[in-house]
Amino acid sequence: MHDRIEFWVAIAWPVASAIINAAFRFRTPEQWMTFAMERPRLAGFVRLCSATGLDVHKALNALKEAAGKGER
């Protein structure tokens, strides 16, 4: 039982949240506002995933910066 929980917390949740965050990445704040007004529950779930999981865009920027190729 604990192995499943540890797997979920360490592997599955970051991967799942990264996929959700990448799928619901909006280019402009206006697009996000339109989405949030049309689907408030789904928008809340996306915000929860973003707050508690892995944000692909931020992670890639951090990796680029660590490698010395990103913006500072």
Q: Is residue 49 part of a domain?
A: yes
Q: How far is CA 59 from CA 1, 25, 54, in A?
A: 30, 14, 7
Q: Is residue 72 part of a domain?
A: no
Domain containing 38 equals: 2-66
The neighbour count for residue 48, using CB atoms within 10 Å, is 12
Q: Is residue 31 part of a domain?
A: yes
Please state, in angstroms and rounded to a whole number, the distance separating the CA atoms of residues 21 and 25. Answer: 6
Average pLDDT over residues 32-55: 87
Looking at residue 1, what is its pLDDT? 63
Q: Is residue 17 part of a domain?
A: yes
Q: Is residue 25 part of a domain?
A: yes
- The number of domains in the chain is 1
pLDDT in tens, 18-37: 888 888 887 788 998 999 99
